[in-house]
Amino acid sequence: MKQTVLVTGAASGIGAEIAKQFCLAGYNVVLNYHKNNGPGLELVNEFKGQSLAFRADITNHLEVEQMISFADENFGGIDIVVNNAGVMLWQLFDKTTLDDFNHVFDVNVKGVFNVCKATVPHMIAQKFGRIINISSMWGQVGSSCEVVYSAAKAAVDGFTKALAKELGPSNVTVNSIAPGVIQTNMSKNLSAQTLESLCQETPLGRLGTPLDIANTVLFLASLKAGFITGQIIGVNGGFVI
């Protein structure tokens, strides 16, 4: 029986590549999106019957519950969760408002809580599950002008470690992937000079790609990773060690 994967923020960027690789590997895939009706949703036409899209704001627990019910009705439940949806905030701390703070934490932290809250009971009942959270290397070491974003991703990593201990007896693994600088629309906001500087600071001498992250996600979702839980796995080309 095919396993079913939920990928949040799957319309574009890293999320779209993760969803694509799961489809190619033969999984059933539920692609979550909110405002961005991006190219990732074309997978629904490419992999008919195997992939479905559902619009939901992950900060709203009612919409998340509706999405999980939709997955249950079509695929019989979620076996693997990839909490990829997130927002960045590049801003000096003294210019950051409470609304900014709330928005970043709502999407990056509360969204992870809502999705896990709605999917964990099924995983516990079947004694199997994979939860893979996409955090950031800045959650590990912090980044100037990204104080709130760094704090939110650090919270995701703490959530990951604690939940892994709680769900381990139910054979549910929980891990985080902490990407480095990845070539997505988010990085396009950086100047060419900044991107070149980041490449030089990266021991492998290049920026990461969405496929670099997707390959790691697929490994953590597989049976080969059954003894890995509670880990923050850096996929950053050696930028943070």
Evaluate if pTM is beyond 0.95.
Answer: yes
Using N-to-C axis directions, what is the helix angle for 111-126 and 61-75, rounded to 10°? 40
Residue 134 — very low, low, confident or very high, per pLDDT cuts 50/70/90? very high
- At 11 the pLDDT is 96
| 210-239 mean pLDDT | 98
- At 37 the pLDDT is 82
- At 235 the pLDDT is 98
For the chain, give the mean pLDDT. 96
pLDDT > 70 in the chain, percent: 99
Residue 165 — very low, low, confident or very high, per pLDDT cuts 50/70/90? very high
| 64-85 mean pLDDT | 98
Token pair belonging to 7? 């990928």
Which one has a higher pLDDT value, 38 or 75?
75
- At 192 the pLDDT is 86
Residue 61 — very low, low, confident or very high, per pLDDT cuts 50/70/90? very high
- At 185 the pLDDT is 76
* Distances, alpha carbon 93 to alpha carbons 64, 86, 90, in Å: 31, 19, 9
190-221 pLDDT, tens digit per residue, is: 788 988 999 999 999 999 999 999 999 999 99
Q: Give the residue from 128, 139, 111 showing the smallest Cα distance to 34.
A: 111
Lowest mean pLDDT among 38-52, 79-93, 185-199: 185-199
- At 55 the pLDDT is 98
| 44-50 mean pLDDT | 96
Token pair belonging to 189? 């906001």
- At 184 the pLDDT is 87
- Just list the catalytic residues: 149
First to last CA, the chain: 39
CB 178 within 8 A of CB 233: yes
What residue segments make up the domains of the chain, in order of their start? 4-235
- At 204 the pLDDT is 97
CATH code matching the domain that covers 4-235, chosen among 3.40.50.2000, 3.40.190.10, 3.40.50.720, 3.40.1190.20:
3.40.50.720
- At 40 the pLDDT is 93
Residue 205: CB atoms within 10 Å: 10
